[in-house]
Structure 1
Amino acid sequence: MEPAQVARRYYELVDEEAYEELVGLFTKDVTYERPGQESIDGRAVLRQFYDRDRPLSNGEHELDSVVSDGDIVAVRGTFRGEQDGHQVELGFADFHEFEDGKIARRYTFTDRDTV
């Protein structure tokens, strides 16, 4: 799959809560950064984040833009679902950096303080 296809698949898997397959999209030493929060480093910690620590749930991502430039894919969209048990709708921009066809680094920016 091309990087843009992998990025699109990532959001499908998050929405399906198919975390085993989702984690397989990332390199073993992945780094995931969110402003104001500790980085998530490595597949095991990433899996733990999705299984136990992710504050968003029961929702879906609507992708407005997916822009690919070589091994970097930028995605802009809206998430509608729950955050800590409350209904939310938030805008996001994500950047996925690829190595050998897998996501090696991921950066998330939202229009809320913490996600």
Structure 2
Amino acid sequence: MDPHEKIIRTLFSTIDTNDWATLRELVTSDITYDRPGFPKIIGVDDLCDFYQEKRPIGNGVHELRSVVSDTLQGFCWGHFSGVSREGAALDELFADWFEFHDGRVRRRRTFFYRPAI
């Protein structure tokens, strides 16, 4: 398995299991994360705060359907199923783009499969 593919797969399993210590090891300290509906997330502390306090998901599982990567970037798409913090069922197709630096995620951008324009 390509090292960047491994990082992507590990990142999602880390998020699904709420393993914030490992998440900190997978990203750079100055990571930027763009996610629809939220202000830009800048830095590892902001990222962990997002997952622990602001993300509307209570729990769930990402099922990656495909991952591709090269020496600088990676892309994946898959399906998420879970429950919101309020108890509502969640079912979402998603895609993510990643930029890597020194074996860690430096930039991430998430896309959701839903009407936008």
- Flag whether TM exceeds 0.5 (same fold): yes
Partner of 1:97: 99
Partner of 2:77: 76
The letter for the 1-side match of 2:61 is E
Q: Which ranges in structure 1 are unaligned for 5 or more consecutive residues?
A: none
**Over residues 45-66 of structure 1, what are the superposed CA-to-partner deviations in whole Å (9 max), with x where a residue is unaligned?**
1111111111112210100000
Q: Provide the identity percentage.
A: 38
- Give how far 1:84 is off: 3.7
> Contact 2:98 / 2:107 at 8 angstroms: preserved in 1?
yes
Partner of 1:46: 47
Partner of 1:57: 58
**Over residues 58-94 of structure 1, what are the superposed CA-to-partner deviations in whole Å (9 max), with x where a residue is unaligned?**
2101000001122211010000001242101100000
RMSD, aligned CA: 1.5
So what's the TM-score if we normalise by structure 1? 0.91
- Give how far 1:35 is off: 2.8
Separation in structure 1 between the aligned mates of residue 90 and residue 40 of structure 2, nearest angstrom: 23
Q: Which ranges in structure 2 are unaligned for 5 or more consecutive residues?
A: none
Separation in structure 2 between the aligned mates of residue 42 and residue 14 of structure 1, nearest angstrom: 16
Spell out structure 1 runs of 4+ moving beyond 3 A. none
Separation in structure 1 between the aligned mates of residue 59 and residue 36 of structure 2, nearest angstrom: 23
> Contact 2:100 / 2:106 at 8 angstroms: preserved in 1?
yes
Separation in structure 2 between the aligned mates of residue 58 and residue 47 of structure 1, nearest angstrom: 15
With over 3 angstroms needed to count, the CA separation of the structure-2 counterparts of 1:58 and 1:37, relative to structure 1, is closer
Partner of 1:18: 19
The letter for the 1-side match of 2:103 is G
> Contact 2:4 / 2:70 at 8 angstroms: preserved in 1?
no
